[in-house]
């Protein structure tokens, strides 16, 4: 009896004028004193501690964060180095490379605040950084996810404009920076609710345990559902609709240009037209076909990585399947969407930053020569280009001869680089 009382007294904690006992000792208290004064104690469970599963999750997230950071950092370095080289040679900087640069920057934010941040939080279990850090952390998480998604949408729109309206893409070059700034500003604005709804709160546990949660902010279930639906539409449904629409239109345009290209090629063979002119159109066609291939990868990656995340969010918000799915499965699916930042450097690096090996063959030299001519005559000096909307070839004044091509020195380039005067779009 005395030993039981001593054990109970050693575990009694007073918090805000309330006496607290661990849940497992409440039975001992009631059975020892036969329920006397039992109402003066709150019986609480122990706070969560680092489990083997949580430790494994923290390690996996940390590894993903390291790989993602290295991949995006190398992408940024590669683009910045390439840009500086072009500026020294007084060459242009296309929009797609600028957008990939900002996509990598946004993915670095996702890596730091979503992957690395969640890895550290999983390891510590509780939130130990204070209320202000809680709000800022959740704000930056949402900002990075919005920015990554919006930049992806800008890339899709840029590909659509470059393929369907190549002439209009030249005049749109000056607006590229404005669109990027708009993506940053919109992401900052849409993330503001995170500063309001998240706060540090003490959990109902025997030990002192704090978490960064929304608990206590919503007074009605529909309020949380409304905010979740708003985030779902702005971060997934609307961007996905724009991506699909822009890339479907791009694919249709490429299909039309492919038919026209084949007919033009056959006509050139029959009429014996200049080989340089044929190579120039072929390179334009190849650039457009690259947009066709990358469009499939972009949309597929976005759907594969984010659909499970938002499907799970909607299911748990509106259907409340607490008994059907485990908490660990929920977390695994939620973190799966964030891992998209790890895949983006691979996708865009493979399609935009890879350089084909130089070849000394006659065919390779002819391709380089033809593309140099294409670059010098891409805008004001005149060129043959494809109007995506009508599927017709047009020719402007100022056609250069093959002799001029041989007289002007031009650095060797990869065959899919942007035109020199198109600062914010590439064919």
Q: For position 308, which CATH number holds? A: 1.20.1070.10
The pLDDT tens digits for 20-52 are 767 766 766 665 554 454 456 677 777 888 988
**What does the pLDDT read at residue 170?**
53
Same domain, 189 and 285: yes
- For 111, counting Cβ atoms within 10 Å of its Cβ (0-12 exposed, 13-18 middle, 19+ buried), the class is buried
What is the per-residue pLDDT for 308?
Answer: 84
Residue 30 is predicted with a pLDDT of 60
The reported pLDDT for the residue numbered 12 is: 66
| pLDDT at residue number 283 | 66
Predicted local confidence at residue 342, as pLDDT: 82
Q: Do residues 14 and 103 both lie within one domain?
A: no
Single out the residue in 330, 353, 376 at which a domain terminates: 353
pLDDT of res. 380: 34
Whether 158 and 212 share a structural domain? yes
What does the pLDDT read at residue 400? Answer: 40
**Do 344 and 235 share a structural domain?**
yes
In a domain, 424, yes or no: no
In the chain, % of residues over pLDDT 90: 25
- Any domain includes 412: no
Are 193 and 143 in a shared domain?
Answer: yes
At 147 the pLDDT is 95
Q: Is residue 229 part of a domain?
A: yes
98 domain-assigned:
yes
Q: What is the pLDDT of residues 119-164, one digit of tens each?
A: 999 999 999 999 999 999 999 999 999 999 999 898 888 878 877 7
Rounded Cα–Cα distance for residues 113 and 123 (Å) = 15
Least confident of 190-204, 306-320, 362-376: 362-376
Query: Do 62 and 14 fall within a single domain?
Result: no
Same domain, 308 and 382: no
Q: Are residues 40 and 182 in the same domain?
A: no
Q: Is the pLDDT of residue 333 over 60?
A: yes
Higher-confidence residue of 68 and 396: namely 68
Average pLDDT over residues 258-286: 58
Average pLDDT over the chain, rounded to an integer: 72
Indicate if 69 and 208 belong to the same structural domain.
yes
242 or 208, higher pLDDT: 242
Contact present, 332 and 298 (Cβ < 8 Å): no
Given 335, 353, 371, which residue is the final one in a domain? 353
Name the more confident of 50 and 331.
50
pTM of the predicted model over 0.85: no
Is 414 domain-assigned?
Answer: no
Q: How many domains does the chain have?
A: 3
Residues 120 and 254 in one domain: yes
Q: What is the mean pLDDT of residues 76-84?
A: 80
Listed ranges 358-367, 373-382, 393-402; the one with the highest mean pLDDT: 358-367
Which domain does 31 fall in, by range? 2-44
User: Is the residue at 418 inside a domain?
Assistant: no
Residue 199 has pLDDT above 70, yes or no: yes
Q: 202 and 241: one domain?
A: yes
Please tell me the predicted confidence (pLDDT) of residue 81: 83
Identify whether 144 is part of a domain. Answer: yes
Q: Are residues 160 and 267 in the same domain?
A: yes
* Residue 423 belongs to a domain: no
Question: HSE-up of 340 (CA within 13 Å, CB side)?
Answer: 25
């Amino acid at each position: 009896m005395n030993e039981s009382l001593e054990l109970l007294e050693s575990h009694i904690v007073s918090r805000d004028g309330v006496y607290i006992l661990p849940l497992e000792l409440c039975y001992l208290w009631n059975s020892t004193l036969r329920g006397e004064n039992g109402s003066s104690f709150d019986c609480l469970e122990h706070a969560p501690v680092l489990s083997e599963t949580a430790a494994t999750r923290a390690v996996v997230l940390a590894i993903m964060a390291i790989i993602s950071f290295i991949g995006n950092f190398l992408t940024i370095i590669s683009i910045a180095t390439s840009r500086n080289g072009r500026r020294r040679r007084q060459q242009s900087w296309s929009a797609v490379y600028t957008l990939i640069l900002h996509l990598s920057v946004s993915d670095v934010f996702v890596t730091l605040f979503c992957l690395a941040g969640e890895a550290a939080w999983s390891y510590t279990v509780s939130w130990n950084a204070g209320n202000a850090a809680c709000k800022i952390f959740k704000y930056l998480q949402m900002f990075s996810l919005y920015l990554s998604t919006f930049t992806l949408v800008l890339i899709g729109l840029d590909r659509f404009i470059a393929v369907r309206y190549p002439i209009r893409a030249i005049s749109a070059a000056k607006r590229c920076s404005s669109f990027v700034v708009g993506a940053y500003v919109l992401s900052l604005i849409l993330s503001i609710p995170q500063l309001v709804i998240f706060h540090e709160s003490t959990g109902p546990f025997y030990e002192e345990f704090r978490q960064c949660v929304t608990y206590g902010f919503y007074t009605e279930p529909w309020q949380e559902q409304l905010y979740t639906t708003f985030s779902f539409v702005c971060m997934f449904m609307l961007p996905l609709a724009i991506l699909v629409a822009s890339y479907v239109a791009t694919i249709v345009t490429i299909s039309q240009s492919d038919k026209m290209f084949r007919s033009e090629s056959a006509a050139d063979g029959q009429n014996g037209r200049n080989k340089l002119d044929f190579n120039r159109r072929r390179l334009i066609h190849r650039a457009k076909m690259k947009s066709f291939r990358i469009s499939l990868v972009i949309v597929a990656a976005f759907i594969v990585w984010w659909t499970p995340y938002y499907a799970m969010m909607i299911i748990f918000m509106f259907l409340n399947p607490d008994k059907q799915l485990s908490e660990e499965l929920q977390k695994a699916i939620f973190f799966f969407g964030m891992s998209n930042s790890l895949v983006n450097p691979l996708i865009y690096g493979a399609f935009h930053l890879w350089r084909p090996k130089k070849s000394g063959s006659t065919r390779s030299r002819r391709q380089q020569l033809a593309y140099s001519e294409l670059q010098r005559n891409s805008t004001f000096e005149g060129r043959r280009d494809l109007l995506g909307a009508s599927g017709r070839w047009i020719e402007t004044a100022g056609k250069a001869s093959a002799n001029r091509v041989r007289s002007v020195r031009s650095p060797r380039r990869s065959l899919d680089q942007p035109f020199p005067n198109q600062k914010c779009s590439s064919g």
